[in-house]
A and B are shown apart, each in its own frame.
Chain A
């Protein structure tokens, strides 16, 4: 059967090119959270480690707890973190008040932190200067007199214990608050859609947009000193690299960090926005006179890499899905007792939101392409199983009886009669699954799976629309190409006799 052959060629091609991410990498893995500041610091750490001769790789994570868990699991060796986040969020159940307590709590987990890098990136509450002056706002307490002001906070701030719930209680605020993506909050402030939002004290936009930072007069926010958080064993396994990374300690103050953020998010002095990687390299050059070859690829180079990764996700997951779904569909068509439970179970899988499924899968499969592939396989089952089942059960009894009557065995009947007759329906199912798969695979950006999701996700967290397009446009084009490819395949492999 030609189409089976095609499938196997596709699988072996992808297998030969290797998985998108190697596992059990003996090299040093430096992580960061995906927002700009963490990315800049992460790249600086990686470059400092490389400057000491280590082979280092960089990985980006969507949030604090994901990065922290990756560190605990040994998937990464080091990433930049904030003391306040450790005390109030990541280890909040321990109720840590003093740095000594924090140090010993981390030591128990095989982790250690450096001395502060030099800036305190705490939360701050900001309003536009216009509203601030109009209402005479100076402190956060002043907000209590204006319950109609529209508050919108970053999603993480809305939910974490040291965020909005605590702030509301401590200051007795009665305002309604909504969640908003942090990078969009500034535009919302500027356009007047919201009045008040949470800021980070090193945000580039504070100066650029002339925002007013309200004084934390009840000392609600803890210190968020930036530190290098690493696994203790680095002292043995990569002593030189660790010493090199710790050069950052005491070297970047809030003003310096704000400037670096500005280079990446706004562009310094009207210049272009730079990649966090590039900003990190220039900072190291200025601070330590370390020359780093940024070695970034141009747009086409990146596009080719992302396309390869994305195709890897799609082809591997679709191949596995077909290998599972086709027999499952045949089985369901064979046995009426099986078809109900099988179709119901796979239908339920489909109803789980993709993001939720990814998060659930992180626990057993970790961060990376393998998790995305598992999720994509699960998502691709339903259309294929359902169409295989429908295609086979839809064959007329006359034809099946004729196949039996001429002495075909059950297997021969399946291969020579049932599958070829069901093929148009099965192919339609595979096509649907593949087109959905191409789109869903972009969510892999949230878990460092590579592919077109990577620039989309980076673009969202770094407020860079061009970056988002760099992933979104090729993803859309690929989906259309997949659709066309299947229409072509359909004409080639489905018998002409079925199209008359």
Chain B
């Protein structure tokens, strides 16, 4: 579905991504994980054309991502970030509707879709009438996910979608997200620094990154049992207890 070949991104003198190649198959959930500054967010933004590669190519569904088709491709992708990225001057409902309005949806279809997503994300219609500043952190994140999902995207890109939430709400949303992902049947790419979250939401495909490069890719089990480098083992061991707590030791 998405293919990055030899992607290199520099910000000034700093190399954020160094010759990264990654292929993501359709209808699969992948987690990009690694310590802060490892390039996982940059890789995600590269896939959407939000940063341009200094060298390398991004292909979307077989077609190279270029300036000319960028807008069209973005309409096929849902994107949500840590702080939600909701527009403060619009109500939650208007935020959700905005992408669909620009896609030319009529009112009835829009209303139907918002209702569906509201059920899926378990929000009240009262909450949708409020402005982002009047919502709790968890509600904001649910609205952001609704906005990402409104066009029924083929690909869902999530950058630390739960990063700003307190542990209780976060745990609750993690459970809900797993249900949502399995229901969607979309390609999902999730950026997180939390191994437990990755192992829970994308147990079969975890990409561990460090200093702008991919260190190892595989299922959680592979990473744990056959680490390809000392760094992988260190990273996994440092978070194992929390993984056990979240997955009930079942992995």
Closest chain A CB from B105 CB (angstroms):
13
Closest chain B CB from A493 CB (angstroms):
11
Binds A, one of B87-95, B178-186, B223-231: B87-95
Binds B, one of A25-33, A375-383, A399-407: A399-407
A417 at the A/B interface (Cβ < 8 Å)?
yes
* Docked CA distance A402–B99 (Å): 11
Q: How many residues of A contact B (CB 8 A)?
A: 22
Q: Are B87 and A421 in contact (CB under 8 A)?
A: yes
Q: Are B102 and A398 in contact (CB under 8 A)?
A: no
Q: Taking each of B89, B102, B147, which has the highest tally of chain A beta carbons within 10 Å of its own beta carbon?
A: B89
Which of A406, A409, A412, A416 touches B147 (beta carbons < 8 Å)? Answer: A406
B83 at the A/B interface (Cβ < 8 Å)?
yes
Q: Are A401 and B85 in contact (CB under 8 A)?
A: yes
Which residues of B from 64 to 78 have beta carbons under 8 Å from A?
Answer: 71-72, 74-75, 77
A97 at the A/B interface (Cβ < 8 Å)?
no
Which residues of B from 142 to 160 have beta carbons under 8 Å from A?
Answer: 147, 157
Tell me the total A-B contact number using a CB cutoff of 8 A.
Answer: 68
Interface size class of B (residues with CB under 8 A): 20 to 34
A500 at the A/B interface (Cβ < 8 Å)?
yes
Closest chain A CB from B150 CB (angstroms):
9
A402-B131 contact given A407-B74, A407-B102, CB 8 Å threshold: no
Q: Are B98 and A406 in contact (CB under 8 A)?
A: yes
B201 at the A/B interface (Cβ < 8 Å)?
no
Q: Are B50 and A401 in contact (CB under 8 A)?
A: yes
Q: Are B102 and A497 in contact (CB under 8 A)?
A: no
Q: Taking each of A398, A402, A416, A417, which has the highest tally of chain B beta carbons within 10 Å of its own beta carbon?
A: A402
A408 at the A/B interface (Cβ < 8 Å)?
yes
* B83 to A, closest residue via Cβ: A398
A498 at the A/B interface (Cβ < 8 Å)?
yes
Q: Are B99 and A421 in contact (CB under 8 A)?
A: no
Which of B71, B85, B102, B131 touches A500 (beta carbons < 8 Å)? Answer: B131
Q: Are B132 and A402 in contact (CB under 8 A)?
A: no
* Docked CA distance A498–B131 (Å): 9
Q: Are A406 and B79 in contact (CB under 8 A)?
A: yes
* Docked CA distance A496–B91 (Å): 9
A420 at the A/B interface (Cβ < 8 Å)?
yes
10 nearest A-B pairs in the assembled complex, by CB-CB distance? A402-B85, A497-B131, A495-B89, A407-B74, A405-B79, A500-B133, A407-B75, A406-B99, A420-B89, A497-B89
* B interface, CB within 8 angstroms of A: 45, 48, 50, 71-72, 74-75, 77, 79, 81, 83, 85-91, 98-99, 102-103, 131-134, 147, 157
* A interface, CB within 8 angstroms of B: 398-399, 401-409, 412, 416-417, 420-421, 423, 495-498, 500
